Structure 1
Amino acid sequence: MTIIADRMTAEIEGNFVVFLIGMRINRWWKPWRWLPVGMAMGRMLAELGRTPAMGLLHARSYLGLPDVMVVQYWRSFADMHAYAHASSLEHRPAWTAFNRAVGSNGDVGIWHETFLVAAGQYESLYNNMPPFGLGIAGGLVTARGRRSSAKGRLGVEAADQSSSAL
C-alpha cells in the first residue's frame, strides 16, 4: 500500500456503525473447537466482500493470540442486523453450529461490541500511513484548516466559543 506522507483524516457521509467482534482461544489444545469459529468468520467476511450491497464498508482482522478481533464498519445497524439474521447467509448457520459445538463450555470465548456513530460524531488522524480503518470505509481528506485539530474535526471549537458567550 502507498504511504501518504501527510496528515489525513477520515470523512464518511451520514451515520455508520463500528462493530468489534472477536474470539478468545481458551483451550488451545482443542483446535476442533476454535478452528471452525475462525474459519466461519473468514467465510462471512468473504461473503460480505463479494456483496457490498449488504452494507459492510470495511473490515480488518487482528491476531494476537489467544485473542482474534475483527473491526468492521457498517453503513447501518439495520444492514448489520439483517445480515446476522438471514438464514440463507453464512452467519446464522455458523452461530447455530457454534452453539451446538461449544455453547458455554469454556473452550472458545466469543464477544462483540456495537457502536452507533452519528454523523460528524467521530474524529481521526493518520500521518505517514496507508489508507486505514475509517479512512478506507469512508474516505480520506487532508487534515488542514478546521480539520487540523481534534476539536476542529469534531466541530466543537465553535460550540465551545458560543457557550462561553452565554
Structure 2
Amino acid sequence: MTREVFPGRYTAKPEQETVTVFLIGMRANRWWKFARVQRVAKQMPKMLRHLATHPESGMLGFESWVGRTTILLSYWESPEHLQRFAADRDAPHLEPWREFMRTALGTGHVGVWHETYEVRVADAESVYADMPAFGLAKATAHVPVGPGMNTARQRLGRERRPAAA
C-alpha cells in the first residue's frame, strides 16, 4: 500500500493542548518458540481494529513497525482515554493482557513493554519532508510549513519575534 507523498515540508498542528504519546511493543526473545510469540502478536491487530471502529476510545492515530522487536507508536486524546481502554472489559485488551500474565510472563519467550508520555503541544515540534502524512500530523492535522514555521525553534514558539513597529 502506497500513501500519497506530499512534496515539500509539512508539520503537525494538533488542536488540543496536550497529546498522549503511547509506545508499545513486543520482542521475540526466543523466536524459535514461534507459536508462543504468534499467540501474543496476533492480539494487537484485534485491538487496533476495535479502536478504529470506536473513535470515542480516544486513539487519534498510530504507526507501527514489525520485526523481532515490534513497535507501535500511537497518539491519544488523554492518558485517561488510554487507561479506560486498557481496563475496559468489553474492549479486546484486558483479557489478552490477563492471559499473557498467566501464561507467558516469566517464560522469557516473549517480552512486552510500553511507555506513556503526556506532551504539551506547545512543547512538541515536528517536520515531515517529502513524506506521506505520518505520525502526529496524520493523527491530528497535516499542514504545510509556512512563514514563521521554518525552523524547529519557530515551530516550538521559542524564536524571538521582532517587536511590531
**TM-score, normalised via structure 2 length:** 0.92
Once the two structures are TM-superposed, the CA of residue 158 in structure 1 deviates from its matched residue by 2.7
Give yes or no for contact 1:33–1:101 (8 Å, CA) kept in 2. Answer: no
The counterpart of 2:40, out of the listed 15, 21, 37, is 37
The counterpart of 1:85, out of the listed 65, 78, 87, is 87
The counterpart of 1:113, out of the listed 90, 112, 115, is 115
| 1:85-104 correspondence to structure 2 within 5 Å | 85-104=87-106
In the alignment, the residues of structure 2 paired with residue 121 and residue 32 of structure 1 have an alpha-carbon distance, to the nearest angstrom, of 43
Give 3-state SS (helix, strand or coil) of 2:91's partner.
coil
The aligned residue for residue 164 of structure 1 is: none
Give 3-state SS (helix, strand or coil) of 1:146's partner.
coil
- What letter is aligned with 1:54? S
Give 3-state SS (helix, strand or coil) of 1:36's partner.
helix
| 1:6-155 correspondence to structure 2 within 5 Å | 6-14=8-16, 15-64=18-67, 66-155=68-157
Once the two structures are TM-superposed, the CA of residue 32 in structure 1 deviates from its matched residue by 2.3
Structure richer in helix, relative to its length = 1
Give 3-state SS (helix, strand or coil) of 1:157's partner.
coil
In the alignment, the residues of structure 1 paired with residue 155 and residue 106 of structure 2 have an alpha-carbon distance, to the nearest angstrom, of 43
In the alignment, the residues of structure 2 paired with residue 68 and residue 119 of structure 1 have an alpha-carbon distance, to the nearest angstrom, of 27
List 4+ stretches of structure 1 deviating above 2 A. Answer: none
Give yes or no for contact 1:4–1:128 (8 Å, CA) kept in 2. Answer: yes
In the alignment, the residues of structure 2 paired with residue 106 and residue 20 of structure 1 have an alpha-carbon distance, to the nearest angstrom, of 21
Root-mean-square deviation over aligned CA pairs? 1.5
Once the two structures are TM-superposed, the CA of residue 59 in structure 1 deviates from its matched residue by 1.3
The count of residues paired between Structure 1 and Structure 2 equals 160
Give 3-state SS (helix, strand or coil) of 2:148's partner.
helix
Once the two structures are TM-superposed, the CA of residue 29 in structure 1 deviates from its matched residue by 1.4
In the alignment, the residues of structure 1 paired with residue 90 and residue 140 of structure 2 have an alpha-carbon distance, to the nearest angstrom, of 28
Once the two structures are TM-superposed, the CA of residue 34 in structure 1 deviates from its matched residue by 1.2
In the alignment, the residues of structure 1 paired with residue 143 and residue 64 of structure 2 have an alpha-carbon distance, to the nearest angstrom, of 24
* Identity within the alignment, %: 36
In the alignment, the residues of structure 1 paired with residue 49 and residue 15 of structure 2 have an alpha-carbon distance, to the nearest angstrom, of 25
Q: Which runs of 5+ in 1 are unaligned?
A: 162-166
**TM-score, normalised via structure 1 length:** 0.92
Give 3-state SS (helix, strand or coil) of 1:158's partner.
coil
Give 3-state SS (helix, strand or coil) of 1:8's partner.
strand
